[in-house]
Amino acid sequence: MAFTLVDAGYDVWLANMRGTTPSKIHTHFNTDRDVDYWDFGIEEVSTFDLPLMVDLILQKSGSDQIFFACHSGGCGILLAGLVNVPKLNNKIKASFFLAPFGFSGSTYNPTFVLFPPILGTRWETIVWNVFGGKLSGEPSPLLTALGLTTEKICGWSFMRCGICDNLLFALYGADPEQMDYNNFPNMLKKLQDNGALKIFFHAIQLDETCQFQKYDYGQTRNLLEYESANPPLYNLSTMTVPIYIFYGEGDNFLTPWDMARMQDAIPRKYLKGFHRVDWHKFNHIDFLMAKDADILVYHKIRDIMEKIELEK
């Protein structure tokens, strides 16, 4: 999508969430050794990081508002930010949600379905400590030295055996017609990166509760954090940013049923579009990797942006 918008004359900024490879520097934590660094989630990123990113873009570009496009969890972070930092609403001209995360509950993605029920038990702490608070997407120096990096494992010799593509299909749903086999290893390398385990745990919680709510620490800590035994819901009725939702019929992570709940939760005045991608197998990862994503999604977003600009 970035290339589509650049070609249309837009100034495009790509955000790096904290902990990813380009964003690991910290004033006193070592991101590879200090587990405390990774004790952040949707709340911290939406309240502190996102507003600073937007302000930086506005400052450097000299604009008053920006268009904001997001995929999956990035949309959940924006929604939380619009609730937590009300003035952020005035800085976004319109937002384009691609398979937005927030309302879950009907997922049949195997990562979620097969995840053991450890949250709220002592095993949650054990898993946290074993993984050091993070989901690492970077190959270790040993694996790199052995040539066992993603782009090499998913090179042409393995692609001919159907290993990597079928693993991707198992996770996100089969859509071989939209698979760009030539660029697949390179795209997979760029998609793979670090993430906070707390955000993954939060996603599991949201799927179990079917609510878009803040992180559930358990009753004791919830009382300290929220002055309530239960985590509060994100009140989307306060948001004022025009939203355009795009979703795939073949998405097993955030299903059409989840998208319908998102549609109902956003104030009717600000839900400007609710679009099913015109390809019946279009899945969660297709928004980033599909051969025809430009025709099916990106060009439509570009056209909406141009129309909004003309109506100013």
Interval 232-263: pLDDT, tens: 999 999 999 999 999 999 999 999 999 999 99
Interval 24-62: pLDDT, tens: 888 889 888 889 999 999 999 999 999 999 999 999 999
Has residue 265 been placed in a domain?
yes
Whether the per-residue pLDDT at 287 is higher than 90: the answer is yes
pLDDT on residue 246: 98
Has residue 167 been placed in a domain?
no
Has residue 146 been placed in a domain?
no
Give me the domain span that covers residue 59: 2-138+193-310
Has residue 297 been placed in a domain?
yes
Specify the higher pLDDT residue, 143 or 214.
214
Beta strands in the chain (DSSP E): 66-71, 92-98, 134-135, 195-196, 243-247, 271-276
Domain containing residue 262: CATH number = 3.40.50.1820
Write the CB contacts of 12 (distance below 8 Å, at least 6 apart in sequence).
2, 5, 6
Number of domains the chain contains: 1
pLDDT on residue 121: 86
pLDDT on residue 278: 97
Q: Can you name the residues that pair with 67 across neighbouring β-strands? A: 94
Has residue 168 been placed in a domain?
no
pLDDT bracket for residue 158 (50, 70, 90): low
Q: What is the DSSP string of 292-310?
A: THIIIIIHHHHHHHHHHHH
Buried b (16+ CB within 10 A) or exposed e, 228-259: eeebeebebeebebbbbbbbbbbbbbbbeebb
pLDDT on residue 160: 58
Q: Which residue has tokens 């309530």? A: 228
pLDDT on residue 38: 92
Average per-residue pLDDT in the chain? 89
Has residue 178 been placed in a domain?
no
Has residue 156 been placed in a domain?
no
**CB-facing half-sphere around the CA of 119: CA atoms within 13 A:** 19
Has residue 247 been placed in a domain?
yes
Whether the per-residue pLDDT at 148 is higher than 70: the answer is no
* Nearest-angstrom CA–CA distance, 153 and 8: 36
